[in-house]
Structure formats: structure tokens, C-alpha cells
Amino acid sequence: MIIKAFLFDLDGVLTDTSELHFLAWKRLAEEEGILFTREDNEALRGVSRRESLNLLLKGRQVSEEQAYEMMERKNGYYVELVRQMTPANLLPGAREMIEEIRHLGLKQAIVSSSKNAWLVLERLQIGELFDAVIDGNARARSKPHPDLFILAAQAVGVPLQNCLVVEDAQAGVEAAHAAGMKALGLGPRERVGAAELVFPSLESHTAREVLAFFEKL
């Protein structure tokens, strides 16, 4: 397979916002008298805001209005935390890899389920390194559906089979495969083992090494 574009998930791949999501959901849970632990938070990785709320509520019934209000409240807490982020919040190896891809003249896009993706990119000061940003504001089904990745391939003008997805969530790897793309998984095999190549993180890895691996597939 020849890679012509890298499609990067954002949260958990280029920066670790999962702790900030956790703190914001925990604050909401405490206000609502719901127990919410770090382990509970793991199930929310890569999952949409609405689905995250459903998991947090653990079967507790709420009206649509209440659900909307809770999501808004949590998002307010989350945005407050994101505003404190700086470029130092980029994960090790992230900047090196995206600069290398840019240097090689390949396309790259951000493909995130988050409606806050642009805010996070601004805080990290890396927005201008990407050819396209497809986020949770796109009118599309979220991961594990392939829609966001297909939109990104169209946006960068690269055929689906020449796009490589970089993901930290199981739902993201599933979405890549559903789009007919291959994936580089970041994190434990229990989570991203379905990806064709798995690294613990981007640290100490190069884009050239990834290109060479996928060329043989």
C-alpha cells in the first residue's frame, strides 16, 4: 500500500485530552450524585459527547432537555480546561512526525469526533500544518462509522486506499477499516490490536518508518 495521506485523530494521538474530559465529566457526575471513576472514563475514549453522557448516566433516565443541559455544562468545564493548554501539551513525537510528513510533501488531516478540535489545535499551535480538519461539527455519523474519514480523504483529494489512519481508540480503528483504510494504532493491543501496525505512542518513531512498513502490505 502506498500512503499519500495521513489522517490523524486528535484526542489521545497528538495530545492527551482524555484527562481533561475526565475532570469535566467527573465534575458533572459529582453535581448529579453519580459515581464516575477513571476506569469508567476509559470507555469514553473516542466516543461522541452524547454517547459519553449515556455511558455516564448508567441507565438513569433523563429528558432530552436535561441531557442537552448536562452536555453543555460538561462542555463548559472542558473548554475552561482546554483554554489552559499550551504547545507543551503536544504528546512526545507528535510535532516531529507532523513536521516530517509536511516535509515529505504528503497530505495530512485531522479527523476528530470533537466539536472542540479547532480550539485544541489553536492551543497547540499546529492548525496550519494540516491540509484539512474534519471534526464533530461535520454533518456525519461519528466513529465507528467511516463517514469522517471518507470526508477527510475527499478534502485532501486522496483515494481512500491511499490514506493511513492514526488512532488511539478501538472505534477509530473500526471506522478506518469501514472506510477501506489501514490504521496505525497507538496504545495497548487490547485497545488498538485490530490496527495493521501498533506503537505504544508516536515517541521515537518516524513517518519514513511507517511508510516503509505499509509499502510491504
Q: Which stretch binds ligand BG6 (CB under 6 A): 48-56, 150-158, 176-184, 202-210?
A: 48-56
* Contact partner, 134, from ligand BG6, Mg ion, none, Cβ < 5-8 Å per class: none
Kindly state whether residue 49 participates in binding ligand BG6, applying the rule CB under 6 A: yes
Cβ density class 156-165: b for 16+ within 10 Å, e for less = bebebebbbb
Which C-beta is closer to ligand BG6: that of 168 or that of 196? 168
Residues binding ligand BG6: number (CB under 6 A): 17
Tell me if 197 sits within 8 A of 209, measured CB to CB: no
> Taking the CB of residue 22, how many other CB atoms lie within 10 A of it?
18
Least Cα distance to 143 among 118, 162, 168 occurs for 168
Show Cβ contacts of residue 96 under 8 Å, excluding neighbours closer than 6 positions. Answer: 202, 206
Report the chain's terminal Cα–Cα distance, integer Å: 6
Kindly state whether residue 181 participates in binding Mg ion, applying the rule CB under 5 A: no
* Contact partner, 146, from ligand BG6, Mg ion, none, Cβ < 5-8 Å per class: none
Strand ranges in 64-210 using DSSP code E only, listed in sequence order: 107-111, 132-134, 163-167, 182-186, 197-199
Taking residues 56 to 95 in sequence order and writing x for each that binds ligand BG6 by CB under 6 A, - otherwise, the string is: -------------------x--------------------
* Contact partner, 15, from ligand BG6, Mg ion, none, Cβ < 5-8 Å per class: none
Query: How far is Cα 143 from Cα 202, in angstroms, rounded to an integer?
Result: 22
Residue 135 catalytic?
no
Shortest gap between Cβ of 49 and ligand BG6 (angstroms)? 4
Kindly state whether residue 48 participates in binding ligand BG6, applying the rule CB under 6 A: yes
Residue 11 catalytic?
yes
Going by the DSSP 8-state scheme, the letter that residue 159 receives in this structure is: -
Tell me if 20 sits within 8 A of 120, measured CB to CB: no
Kindly state whether residue 185 participates in binding Mg ion, applying the rule CB under 5 A: no
Q: Which stretch binds ligand BG6 (CB under 6 A): 46-54, 87-95, 183-191, 198-206?
A: 46-54
Catalytic residue among 11, 135, 147, 168: 11
List residues binding Mg ion (CB under 5 A): 9, 11-12, 46, 168-169
Where in the sequence numbering do the catalytic residues fall? 9, 11
